[in-house]
Amino acid sequence: MRRSAVLLFVKKFILLVTGVAITHFGVALSMIPNIGIGAYDAFGLTVSYLTGIDVGVIYAAMSAFFLAGQILIERRNFRLTELFQLVFVFGSGLFTSVFTEYVFDGVVVENYAAKIFILAAAIMCKAIGLITVIESYLIRVPMEGFCVCIADRTPLTMGKVRMAFDVVFVAFVAVITPLADLDWTVREGTAIAFLIHGPMLDILQRPARKLFGSMGIYPPYMASSARLKYRREGECASPRSPVGTANSQPS
């Protein structure tokens, strides 16, 4: 393997680990306000309340489930490099446990406005972390990757598959929480996360591509002649420059 290829892999791997850490810093932070969290996170936290198992272990198990689902669906077409999703699987459990037990343990916020602010900051952290993982082009995110596998083999889009899972997660929480007399994890914060998280990923995609492009990280299918345009994505075209906005790529 050439030195340049090794260096590129190291950059992508560092970005992957960094993205996983930032994502689950946001997950742990979102639990502090206690006004509800995203559907996926709410499902995991509710299962943790129900079983008494550490929430980090639950999130790791969920990521492992969706990775296994990708392997079962794609079989021989599953790329071996996607096994680096194991970094996300184990990292999701490790970082969530570290942040909840050692960083935010005992932190209580009473002011409602402060709770909203902290939740918004948590959603921002999750979006930054996920876009870092996605735009590093090393692996898919386990949950979203599983949705892509289903979408590629059905008339549904990836977004619709993801929303269907969110409905299932919320329905599970809505049924189990009163039956088991658990604390509610689905509240107004869940709606806030639903409204903010997706658009935040779209907003962050362009600056992330410009930053990572300056580091030599591009989609694997991109020709070298298109890379300058990719790095300048989002910049306004001027009369002196033919470069405009590059076509956005699916994340």
What's the predicted TM-score (pTM) here? 0.78
Other C-beta atoms lying within 10 Å of the C-beta of residue 40: 18
Distance between CA 88 and CA 90 in Å, rounded? 6
The reported pLDDT for the residue numbered 137 is: 85
Provide the pLDDT for residue 246. Answer: 37
Domain borders along the chain are 3-231
Contact in structure between 233 and 245 (CB atoms under 8 Å) = yes
pLDDT in the model for residue 1: 56
Sign of CA dihedral 116, 49, 131, 69: negative
Counting as low any pLDDT under 70, the low residues of the chain are 1, 219-251
User: What's the pLDDT at 241?
Assistant: 39
8 Å CB contact between 111 and 40: no
pLDDT at res. 60? 93
